[in-house]
Chain A
Amino acid sequence: SAVISQKPSRDICQRGTSLTIQCQVDSQVTMMFWYRQQPGQSLTLIATANQGSEATYESGFVIDKFPISRPNLTFSTLTVSNMSPEDSSIYLCSAGLGQGSGELFFGEGSRLTVL
């Protein structure tokens, strides 16, 4: 298994600012992902964080808005840039071990409110 820590757990941000969310895994993992979950909604994949290379973004998400870093096998960051109220959401970091059943492990999420 993997234990994932995210910070901040919540924040209130002003329109036009940027915020970086950090994700730390307690063991080396093959895959790391960032999801967004808007209130009462499902999880939408933003991107796959690739170690040592550019992230792979899903349709509707772009690097300029959601830059992602993954310098090693246990750490990743997601930045939400030039925020607007529409970015108010929970951002979830997840990791897959690439073995066994391949389930995802999730952080506790970062709840962002943009005013």
Chain B
Amino acid sequence: AQKITQTQPGMFVQEKEAVTLDCTYDTSDPSYGLFWYKQPSSGEMIFLIYQGSYDQQNATEGRYSLNFQKARKSANLVISASQLGDSAMYFCAMRFHRTGGFKTIFGAGTRLFVKA
């Protein structure tokens, strides 16, 4: 069965430093997609970055990069040069195919606190 695991309930980082949020996944499907979403205290879900299972290179989007280690089944999010506005809940997610379409499941989340 497909599963997403985030083992860090909370993380602290100093402003302007980099931070890595961990995510591991489990699936036997060869084709899947991995995502990171940010949820600030306002509650909205903001898409950050995507990595396809067949992508050879790690995805990057501005200050966000995804460290994709397929053999280890990990998809860690790296945020460089942290800003106070990065304080939020971060969810790792996996999309996989099933009959009739696809499904996306989410990890438990990591709450990031950026310190001034």
| Chain A residues with a Cβ under 8 A of chain B | 30-31, 33, 41-45, 48, 50, 56, 90, 92, 94, 96, 98, 101-106, 108-109, 111
Contacts and interface: CB of A to CB of B under 8 A. Distances in A.
Chain B interface size, as a band, is 20 to 34
A33 B43 contact: no
What is the predominant secondary structure among interface residues of chain A facing chain B? strand
Contacts, number: 53
A30 to B, nearest CB: 7
Interface in B60-86: none
Contacts of A48: 100-101, 103
Given A90-B43, A102-B95, A106-B44, A96 B107 contact: no
Contact of A101 (B50, B91, B107, B109): B50
B47 interface: yes
A44 B104 CA distance: 10
Interface of B: 33, 35, 43-45, 47, 50, 52, 91, 93, 95, 100-109
Contacts of A104: 35, 45, 47, 93, 104
A103 B101 contact: no
A7 to B, nearest CB: 15
B102 A43 contact: no
A108 B105 CA distance: 18
B50 A103 contact: yes
B106 A42 contact: yes
Contacts of B108: 41-42
Nearest to A106: B45
Contact of A109 (B35, B43, B109): B43
